[in-house]
Structure 1
Amino acid sequence: MVVGTLLALLGAAGPSRAQPVVPQRHTFTRSAQLMGSYFTFTVVVADNDTAGQRALRAGLGEVRRIDHLMSFWDSTSEVVRINRTAGLHPVAVSPETFGLINRTLRLSGLSDGAFDITFASADKLYKFDRQAHAALPDSAAVRASVRRIGWQKIQLDTARHTVYLPATGMRINLAGILQGYGLRRAKQVLDHLDIRGGLLNGSGDIYCWGRQADGSLWRVAIGNPDHPNSVAA
């Protein structure tokens, strides 16, 4: 009877010493053409295929939304509306677009104008299409174009959320900041979906966190242009 009781106790204690089951992690990757560039998102999930694909759709969808809102090329974007009314009247925009433009002006101040979204005022002078140019623009055209550039000229109305470019021909282009901003917003979306690891690549802008499916850290490298598929650094 004592032996039977002892065996019963040992049997009862067995499950408590078992190692916890660690859910297997899986990697999912998807690419898309966004913001005029090539985006590749990778996420690591401890769930089924549905969770991984849902996360990728949500993350890339957030970048697509921002692109539609602030694209320099989309005829319906708020940036294009601002450019079309340069020299005419202010344009009311969303708090998100207003906030990002306001941030670029702070960056312009910090960089003493090295970063300036009004560079787009001059982009019609040159065509970077790999074709030979008959001649460079004449100096008068260059001077006239440069006169339209200047981040200090942008007029923001915080109360009304309006943006005004005071000179006809002035234009802004958020390309220098938009990809990085899109990645940060996509990361926030993935955080809400409880994605604990991933790597977001927006044409060279990289955002990674957590670990790969096998537990190893992410490796970010610069390719060697002279030797495809090799690493320079």
Structure 2
Amino acid sequence: MAVVSDSIRRARPLLGTFVEIEVVGATRSVTDVAIDAAFDAIDEVHRLMSFHEPHSDVSRLNQDACIRPTRVDPWTFQVLETATELYRLTDRVFDVTIAPALQAMGLLPRLRGDPVLSRNARFADAIELLPGNMVRFRSAGVTIDLGGIAKGFAVDRAVDVLCGLGIATGMVNAGGDLRVFGEPRMIHLRDPRDPGRSLCRIDVVDDALASTALRFDLIDGVRSGHSAVIEPSTHRPAGSIDGVTVRAPSCMIADALTKVVMISASDSGGLLEHYKASALLIGTDGDLQITSDWHHAVHLAA
């Protein structure tokens, strides 16, 4: 008789973080095969969408798509479709062509000469999605980075693999971008100013969570916050709030919406409703704002 395990958890360094996969209630042989396949799916997303990998779809687009239409993997095309939709729905706040600004700030490596794309150029005018998973850039200055959405997409693909192989309960966690399926899970949210302190506990049931926060460093005895989320219209770091956590049906959407809410804060209500998502905002004074549809699932720390 096959032995059913209570819980098996494995972790690997992927996507610039540690990815943890946990499976509950399956036989060891089934679990091992499923977890290996889920890690393979995450590794494939990294191979396709990394800004740093020279042969990734993203690198090929940044090199060639301004010269000729370039074919990409269906997964990459799907992420670009979602990015395009988000760009339009957020009035240009979510913009994967922000890469030149990230390069100028040293947050991404500079791979070629100075970009010429204006910060006011419209995404829809810069990138064209064509039939057959073909992509064309309309300007030589376009450089894209999918770092604000691809990690969540990778989590979703891993969950799809696990479920497709018969896993009924588990969790995939990529450095805080996570998705739970099967049984409910309690997730602890930590204070970005004091990572040793829990702000609240969040009930998660067949949903995804993603978080973005300022990074706080101690400089001359004073804590200083720094954001890697860049406001596209100004090319300056977002800083109106200290952090945000978004709950959504998919981790790709949750991952992307954290950047939008980090920039737009309380003006994001309509967008959250559109994607059936909820948000928790951490103010600069430490106060929490929770969307009204999510209060029942968030339990503040004592």
**TM-score, L = length of structure 1:** 0.74
The answer (yes or no) to whether the contact 1:221–1:232 under 8 Å persists in 2 is yes
Structure with a larger share of its residues in strand: 2
> Hey, what does 2:9 align to over in structure 1?
29
| Gap regions ≥5 residues in structure 1 | 1-22, 130-140, 212-216
Tell me, yes or no, if structure 1 residue 100 matches structure 2 residue 79.
Answer: yes
Cα deviation, residue 147, structure 1: 3.8
Q: Which residue of 1 aligns with 2:151?
A: 179
Are 1:75 and 2:48 an aligned pair?
Answer: no
| Partner in structure 1 of residue 276 of structure 2 | none
Q: 1: CA distance between counterparts of 2:98 and 2:107? A: 15
Runs (4+) off by over 4 Å: 225-230
1:116 is matched with 95
Question: Is this contact kept in 2: 1:108–1:114, CA < 8 A?
Answer: yes
- Aligned residue pairs: how many? 192
Deviation at 1:226, TM superposition (A): 5.8
Residue 50 of structure 1 is matched in structure 2 by 29
CA distance in 2, matches of 1:89, 1:179: 28
Structure that is richer in helix per residue: 1
Q: Give the counterpart of 1:191 among 149, 154, 163.
A: 163
Alignment correspondent of 1:154? 127
Shift of residue 41 of structure 1? 1.1
Gaps of 5+ in 2: 109-113, 201-302
Task: State the AA in 2 paired with 1:232.
Answer: L
Aligned residue type for 2:17: S
Q: Tell me which of 191, 198, 210 is aligned to 1:231.
A: 198
After superposition, what is the alpha-carbon deviation per residue over 1:53-100, rounded to whole angstroms, capped at 9, x for unaligned?
222111111110111112111111111100012532221222222222
Contact conserved, 1:45 with 1:51, CA < 8 A, in 2? no
The percentage of aligned residue pairs carrying the same residue is 28
TM-score w.r.t. length of structure 2: 0.58
Tell me if the contact between 1:116 and 1:150 (Cα under 8 Å) persists in the aligned partners: no
RCO greater where, 1 or 2, for CA within 8 Å and sep 6 or more?
A: 1
Alignment partner of 1:32: what SS? strand
Cα gap change, 1:81 to 1:226, in 2 (>3 Å): closer
CA distance in 1, matches of 2:39, 2:121: 33
CA distance in 1, matches of 2:96, 2:147: 8
Q: 1:134 corresponds to which residue?
A: none
